[in-house]
């Protein structure tokens, strides 16, 4: 093989590697976010989240009973959580997970799958030692993440074309504050 085709193949492989989704950054971001959320939960709702003696029984229920969905509860409160937590908090959480995956070169379907998998990890891993997983949260978090996160991502991409460096940075920081902070500290995406 001559040098020309070898250089072409090497260049194409490097481009493909550069364009491949980065899984590490969204995974570390999601784990850090969930760790902070769980710590805050322990402070805001010490009952049941700060009761280690109940953790084993709670995890047992999480894996032996179906996800919580009580149709007798009001709209968007089918798991007994406040409306603000369900409608707002889970939408923001899903959006943050989705946005981080998209900025790390995931296609929209991959970002949705990442948000769904991370939401399930939250429900069954981080939160299940205090409460039973919620069917509403398992569905609503990634779906709202797709809708809100894709809007944020498209606006963030468009903001990359703003001529003024200051306004471009401010706009992108408003649309993705955690991501822009991470990138300022050297994150790859």
CA 2 to chain centre: 46
**To which H or E segment does residue 145 belong?**
helix 135-159
pLDDT tens column, 20-31: 999 999 999 999
Q: What is the pTM of this model?
A: 0.87
Tell me how many degrees the CA angle 186-166-30 measures, rounded to the nearest 5.
Answer: 35
Measure the CA–CA gap between 166 and 151, rounded to whole angstroms: 22
pLDDT tens column, 83-120: 999 999 999 999 999 999 999 999 999 999 999 999 99
Which three-class secondary structure state does DSSP give residue 164? coil
pLDDT at residue 7 tops 50: no
Contact 153, 99 (CB under 8 A): yes
Q: Which residue has the tokens 């939960």?
A: 41
Contact 94, 116 (CB under 8 A): no
Query: Residues 128-137, buried b or exposed e (16+ Cβ, 10 A)?
Result: bbbbbbbbbb
């Amino acid at each position: 093989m001559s040098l020309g085709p070898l250089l072409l193949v090497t260049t194409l492989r490097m481009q493909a590697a550069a364009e491949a989704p980065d899984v590490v950054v969204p995974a570390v971001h999601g784990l850090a976010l969930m760790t902070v959320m769980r710590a805050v939960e322990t402070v805001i709702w010490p009952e049941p989240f700060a009761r280690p003696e109940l953790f084993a029984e709670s995890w047992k229920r999480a894996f032996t009973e179906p996800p919580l969905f009580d149709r007798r509860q009001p709209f968007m409160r089918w798991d007994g959580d406040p409306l603000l937590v369900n409608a707002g908090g889970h939408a923001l959480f899903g959006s943050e997970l989705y946005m981080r995956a998209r900025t790390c070169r995931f296609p929209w379907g991959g970002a949705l799958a990442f948000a769904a998998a991370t939401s399930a990890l939250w429900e069954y891993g981080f939160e299940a030692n205090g409460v039973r997983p919620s069917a509403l949260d398992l569905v609503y978090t990634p779906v709202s993440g797709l809708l809100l996160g894709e809007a944020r991502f498209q606006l963030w991409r468009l903001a990359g074309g703003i001529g003024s460096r200051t306004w471009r940075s401010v706009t992108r920081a408003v649309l993705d504050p955690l991501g822009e902070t991470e990138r300022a500290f050297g994150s790859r995406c």
